[in-house]
């Protein structure tokens, strides 16, 4: 069958129109997802990494918390995976730390804490990598022995490294009018791929017991005091914003149930124009009580918490404390303006911690009689 010339032109026009509409729809979706990725990457650039299980990463919460624990050594690891629902390259964050109490040189309740923390954050298609290695030192001075009132002063210093790759990025010039063509030149010139910088932070913390059933730990911190440049370009200066932090956590033990306690907490950070506020509470229930004399039987407890991050997410976490180990899992439910794209799916987070009392039987252990909040 031979079609009239004008009918062929009409069909050809319709085919071309449909192809263009399909491509426009695809490009619109790509553009939307790209815009979301850019916004999230900008947020990553503007503020530090953070964990929802912030109490299990104390050296990232406040340098003054170094060595502040009922035990003598603490080893922890936190892992976070988020934005998998809106990006082919989810954002991954990992932190590993170790800290402990230095042996005292005299008969006193004052002690030093020493720690090391390593953080790594990878974000988006550009694989923006942020790596940090910091040494943390604290001095803990007993001011009110009768109630365990202790002032902790902490310093943290180390090196940071940022890098990114350009191979996985796409540009509008690589759209040939029909589809995306990776063989086309982007017309963009890489501005740099890596830099290293020095980072210095400081913190204060106060710990005290109120009566028999309530303990409090609260502090303030100042991060990136030297405001290092984090620009990958050699011709532009982009200082890392100084960050101000506030942390507080309490532990109220129910008088009628000594093995059950409530742990309310609040964390606030301000970095440039970015604010982060976490509020919530956890419930801790002791399943097995530790033996008082032999120490052969160690405590086992379960912790469950519900929290809210201002204009961003609600999250729940559950942790099991078994002997010297703690294993926790957390999930964020996104409630920000990105929830349309994310379907309210935020991110999964895991934590593993090991804590051990090494010198509890020594006569002049500086922590004898002290009881800090059980994170």
Instruction: Give, as one character, the DSSP assignment of residue 231.
Output: -
What does the pLDDT read at residue 298? 79
37-48 CB burial, b ≥16 within 10 A, e <16: beebbeebeebb
Q: CA-CA distance, 32 to 142, in Å (whole number)?
A: 55
Rounded to an integer, what distance in angstroms lies between the CA atom of residue 319 and that of residue 199?
32
Q: Which of 24, 93, 37 is nearest to 351 (CA)?
A: 93
Q: Are 91 and 345 in contact (CB under 8 A)?
A: no
Q: How far is CA 149 from the centre of its chain?
A: 29
- CATH no., domain 5-356: 2.40.160.40
Question: How would DSSP label each residue in 178-207?
Answer: SSB-TTS--------SEEEEEEEEEEEEEE
Q: 322-372, pLDDT tens digit by residue? A: 989 999 999 999 887 666 655 666 789 999 999 998 865 555 566 666 678
Half-sphere exposure (Cβ direction) of 307: Cα atoms closer than 13 Å: 30
Averaged pLDDT of the chain: 81
What residue has token string 């004399």?
293
pTM score? 0.81
For the stretch 13-56, pLDDT in tens is 444 444 444 444 444 444 444 444 444 444 444 568 889 999 99
Distances (CA, A) of 372 to 60, 85, 194, 369: 18, 39, 41, 10
The domain locations on the chain are: 5-356
pLDDT for residue 58:
97
Q: Give me the pLDDT at residue 7, please.
A: 43
Instruction: Tell me how far apart the alpha carbons of residues 101 and 162 are, in angstroms, rounded to a whole number.
Output: 32
Reading the block at residue 163, the tokens are 């890098």
The answer for residues whose C-beta is within 8 angstroms of residue 200's C-beta and 6 or more apart is 155, 156, 157, 224, 225, 226
As a three-state string, the secondary structure of 331-342 is EEEECCCCHHHH
| Rounded-to-integer distance, Cα 62 and Cα 246, Å | 8
* SS percent in the chain: helix, strand, coil, step 5: 15, 45, 35
Query: Cα(369)–Cα(148) distance, rounded to whole angstroms?
Result: 8
Burial of 105 (0-12, 13-18, 19+ CB in 10 A): exposed
User: What is the 8-class DSSP label of residue 308?
Assistant: E
Question: pLDDT truncated to tens, each residue of the chain (375 aa)?
Answer: 444 444 444 444 444 444 444 444 444 444 444 444 444 444 444 568 889 999 999 999 999 999 999 889 999 999 999 766 666 677 899 999 999 998 776 677 789 999 999 999 987 666 788 999 999 999 999 898 888 899 999 999 999 999 877 666 777 777 777 777 777 777 666 666 788 999 999 999 999 999 889 999 999 999 999 999 888 776 677 889 999 999 999 999 999 998 999 999 999 999 999 999 999 999 999 998 877 766 667 789 999 999 999 988 999 999 999 989 999 999 999 887 666 655 666 789 999 999 998 865 555 566 666 678 877
| pLDDT for res 185 | 74
Give the separation between CA 65 and CA 247, rounded to whole angstroms.
Answer: 10
Q: Which residues of 344-353 are buried (b: 16+ CB within 10 A; e: fewer)?
A: ebbbbbbbeb
Pairwise CA distance, residues 203 & 201, whole Å? 7
């Amino acid at each position: 069958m031979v079609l009239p010339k004008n009918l062929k032109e009409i069909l050809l026009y319709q085919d071309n129109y449909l192809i263009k509409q399909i491509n426009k729809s695809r490009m619109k979706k790509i553009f939307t997802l790209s815009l979301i990725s850019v916004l999230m990457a900008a947020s990553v650039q503007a503020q530090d990494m953070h964990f929802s299980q912030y109490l299990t990463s104390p050296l990232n919460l406040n340098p003054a918390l170094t060595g502040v624990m009922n035990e003598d050594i603490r080893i922890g690891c936190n892992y976070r995976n988020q934005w998998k629902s809106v990006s082919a390259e989810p954002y991954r964050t990992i932190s590993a730390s170790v800290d402990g109490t230095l042996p005292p040189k005299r008969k006193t309740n004052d002690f030093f804490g020493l720690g090391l923390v390593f953080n790594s954050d990878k974000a988006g298609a550009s694989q923006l990598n942020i790596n940090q290695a910091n040494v943390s030192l604290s001095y803990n001075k007993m001011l009110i022995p009768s109630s365990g009132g202790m002032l902790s002063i902490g310093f943290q210093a180390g090196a940071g490294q940022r890098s990114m790759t350009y191979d996985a990025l796409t540009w509008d010039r690589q759209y040939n009018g029909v589809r995306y063509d990776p063989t086309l030149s982007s017309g963009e010139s890489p501005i740099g791929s890596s830099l290293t910088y020095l980072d210095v932070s400081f913190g204060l913390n106060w710990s005290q017991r109120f009566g028999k059933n309530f303990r409090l730990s609260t502090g303030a911190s100042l991060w990136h005091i030297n405001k290092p440049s984090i620009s990958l370009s050699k011709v532009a200066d982009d200082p890392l914003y100084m960050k101000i932090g506030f942390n507080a956590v309490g532990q109220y033990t129910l008088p009628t149930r000594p093995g059950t306690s409530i742990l309310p907490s609040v964390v606030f950070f301000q970095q440039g124009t970015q604010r982060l506020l976490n509020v919530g509470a956890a419930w801790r229930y002791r399943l097995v009580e530790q033996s008082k004399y032999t120490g052969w039987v160690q405590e086992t407890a379960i912790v469950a918490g519900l929290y809210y991050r201002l204009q961003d997410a609600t999250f729940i976490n559950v942790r099991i404390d078994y002997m010297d180990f703690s294993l926790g899992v957390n999930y964020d439910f996104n409630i920000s303006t990105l929830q349309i794209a994310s379907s309210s799916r935020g991110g999964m987070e895991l934590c593993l911690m090991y804590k051990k009392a090494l010198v509890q039987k020594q006569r002049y252990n500086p922590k004898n009689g002290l009881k800090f909040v059980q994170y």
